[in-house]
């Protein structure tokens, strides 16, 4: 009995102990799930982020309207005469302004006098590219094999990257090291472990430099020798001057990349055209011509402009040299219905001061590019004041002008489109080719001031009403 009682007492002690701990738990004196305290308030829901709605988009380019009032010709002509008479623009200035909607000539000062255009020449080069080329095409750099001879064949791409190409870039879309690795893999599959490298840059012919470039040439980095294959547009890191032999430099880079990929390449490098029966075993392609044209126009890239001149020459059956390129660019301009009579071109970039173009001709090109849907690509790739390209830093309101700049030692030109404060679209060409030595900055500022004046006014005579 005593034992049973003991068991009961033990059980009872456990029960009593359990009741005591539960009470302590409920009083929050010891750890446990029980409590007599008021429950915590339910948590507020996590706030949903509020994204502000899209605000109004600032107007960059004013709306164009053919119904907007035409500027008074005398008002804008008077402003043009003030600019022409300003000593900042020099003794030789031509100005033409045309109403795009009607074709009415509002200003004509020495409109037919041919002047040195500088890089405004690229307006003709750009138009000829649009009329002559498929802008969705790409330039291909290839490796061709004939026996143990491996040919690096240039297809006109002077924008190659030395190593890997960048599929998101325009310049450097294709890479020479990529071509070398693809070539090495193909050679291995064919059981070829040793080759003699030859350079075929025969696509472009004749001189690679123009004697008319002078100060504005290769030595000062304004342009590279124009050859059928090059890396980085012939630019050399750490120096102002471009390479004197961009195609050979590209071939050396290709050779070194081949060796790094495990191919034995015999010493020495010769220029030689690939035979007709050579087999293409690898190739890389540039950005589209459309993309390259945009870089050429917005950045006023002289090397690309000369490349485009030669591509137009090939497309039009001319020799891919300076003479063939200039002949073809004039033919491509004429194909748009523009009269090029009397126009003189010695290159297609505008570096040659022997070029002679009338302001009226530039206007005809701009009007054609505005009216013909097939030619509007030219207008699309022009620099934009305050925003894009060579007009980005000019002293003209952002978006007010879309046009092509030109500068040489004594030349400042600008031709393009401007919209008045009333929304009336105009085409203009201003060419000053007798600017005093050291005065090009002042000439630019004076021309910019005139275009700013056009964009800021409706240029209407005061009403008596």
Residue 21's H or E segment, with its range, is helix 2-26
pLDDT at residue number 416: 98
Residue 458 has pLDDT above 70, yes or no: yes
**367, 427 Cβ separation under 8 angstroms:** yes
Q: What is the mean pLDDT of residues 388-415?
A: 96
Distance (Å) of CA 250 to CA 338, 358, 365: 39, 39, 37
Active-site residue 119, yes or no? Answer: yes
Q: Spot the catalytic one: 119, 132, 349, 455.
A: 119
Q: Taking the model in full, what pTM does it have?
A: 0.85
Residue 417's H or E segment, with its range, is strand 411-419
Active-site residue 404, yes or no? Answer: no
pLDDT at residue number 94: 98
CA-to-CA distance for 307 and 156, rounded, in angstroms? 7
CA-to-CA distance for 240 and 282, rounded, in angstroms? 33
Q: Which residue has the tokens 């043009």?
A: 80
For 373, the token pair is: 């849907």
Residue 55 has pLDDT above 70, yes or no: no
**104, 83 Cβ separation under 8 angstroms:** no
- pLDDT per residue as tens digits for the range 163-222: 999 999 999 999 999 999 999 999 999 999 999 999 999 999 999 999 899 877 888 899
Helix (H, G, I), strand (E, B) or coil at 344: strand
Q: Work out the mean pLDDT of the chain and round it to a whole number.
A: 88
φ, ψ (nearest 5 deg) of residue 198: -130, 145
% the chain with pLDDT above 70: 85
Q: Spot the catalytic one: 142, 210, 300, 413.
A: 300
Residue 52 has pLDDT above 60, yes or no: no
- pLDDT per residue as tens digits for the range 17-48: 333 434 444 444 444 544 555 555 555 554 55
CA-to-CA distance for 295 and 232, rounded, in angstroms? 13
Domains of the chain: 73-133+294-456 (3.40.710.10), 138-288 (3.50.80.20)
Nearest CA to 144 among 194, 179, 193?
Answer: 179
- Residue 206 contacts by C-beta under 8 Å, 6 or more apart in sequence? 319, 320, 321, 322, 323, 324
Residue 158 has pLDDT above 60, yes or no: yes
Count of Cβ atoms closer than 10 Å to residue 257 Cβ:
22
Can you say whether the dihedral through the CA atoms of 409, 344, 370, 131 is positive or negative? negative
Task: Give burial (CB, 10 Å; 0-12/13-18/19+) of 182.
Answer: middle
Q: Spot the catalytic one: 122, 142, 210, 353.
A: 122
Count of Cβ atoms closer than 10 Å to residue 145 Cβ:
20
pLDDT at residue number 406: 98
- pLDDT per residue as tens digits for the range 303-352: 999 999 999 999 999 999 999 999 999 999 999 999 999 999 999 999 99
Residue 356 has pLDDT above 90, yes or no: yes
Can you say whether the dihedral through the CA atoms of 47, 51, 52, 53 is positive or negative? negative
Active-site residue 243, yes or no? Answer: no
**210, 227 Cβ separation under 8 angstroms:** no
- What b/e sequence results for 51-86 when a residue is b if at least 16 CB atoms lie within 10 Å of its CB, and e otherwise? eeeeeeeeeeebeeeeebebbbbebbbebbeebbeb
């Amino acid at each position: 009995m005593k034992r049973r009682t003991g068991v009961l007492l033990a059980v009872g002690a456990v029960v009593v102990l359990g009741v005591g701990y539960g009470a302590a738990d409920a009083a929050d004196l010891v750890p446990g799930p029980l409590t007599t305290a008021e429950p915590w308030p339910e948590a507020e829901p996590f706030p949903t982020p509020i994204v502000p709605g899209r605000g109004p988009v600032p107007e960059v380019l004013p709306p164009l309207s053919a119904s907007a009032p035409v500027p008074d010709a005398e008002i804008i002509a008077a402003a043009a005469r003030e600019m022409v008479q300003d000593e900042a623009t020099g003794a030789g200035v031509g100005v033409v302004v045309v109403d795009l909607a009607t074709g009415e000539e509002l200003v004509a000062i020495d409109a037919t006098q041919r002047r040195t255009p500088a890089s405004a020449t690229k307006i003709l080069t750009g138009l000829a590219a649009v009329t002559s080329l498929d802008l969705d095409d790409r330039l291909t750099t290839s490796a061709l094999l004939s026996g143990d001879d491996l040919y690096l064949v240039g297809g006109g791409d002077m924008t190659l990257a030395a190593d890997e190409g960048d599929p998101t870039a325009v310049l450097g879309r294709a890479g020479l090291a990529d071509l070398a690795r693809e070539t090495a893999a193909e050679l291995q599959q064919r059981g070829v472990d040793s080759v003699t490298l030859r350079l075929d840059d025969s696509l472009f012919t004749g001189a690679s430099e123009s004697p008319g470039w002078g100060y504005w040439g290769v030595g000062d980095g304004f342009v590279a020798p124009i050859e059928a294959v090059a890396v980085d547009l012939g630019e050399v890191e750490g120096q102002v001057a471009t390479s004197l032999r961009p195609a050979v430099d590209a071939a050396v880079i290709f050779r070194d990349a081949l060796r790094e990929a495990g191919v034995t390449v015999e010493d020495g490098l010769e220029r030689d055209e690939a035979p007709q029966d050579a087999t293409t075993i690898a190739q890389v392609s540039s950005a589209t011509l459309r993309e390259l044209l945009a870089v050429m126009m917005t950045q006023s890239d002289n090397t690309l402009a000369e490349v485009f001149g030669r591509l137009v020459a090939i497309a039009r059956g001319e020799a891919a040299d300076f003479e063939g390129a200039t002949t073809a660019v004039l033919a491509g301009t004429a194909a748009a219905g523009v009269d090029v009579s009397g126009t003189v071109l010695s290159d297609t970039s505008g570096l040659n001061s022997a070029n002679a173009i009338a302001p009226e001709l530039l206007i005809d090109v701009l009007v054609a590019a505005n009216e013909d849907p097939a030619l509007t690509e030219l207008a699309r790739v022009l620099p934009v004041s305050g925003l894009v390209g060579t007009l980005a830093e000019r002293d003209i309101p952002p978006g007010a002008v879309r046009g092509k700049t030109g500068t040489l030692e004594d030349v400042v030109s600008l031709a393009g489109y401007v919209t008045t404060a009333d929304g009336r679209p105009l085409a203009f060409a201003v060419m000053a080719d007798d600017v005093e030595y050291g005065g090009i900055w002042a000439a630019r500022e004076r021309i910019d001031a005139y275009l700013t004046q056009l964009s800021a006014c409706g240029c209407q005579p005061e009403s008596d009403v």
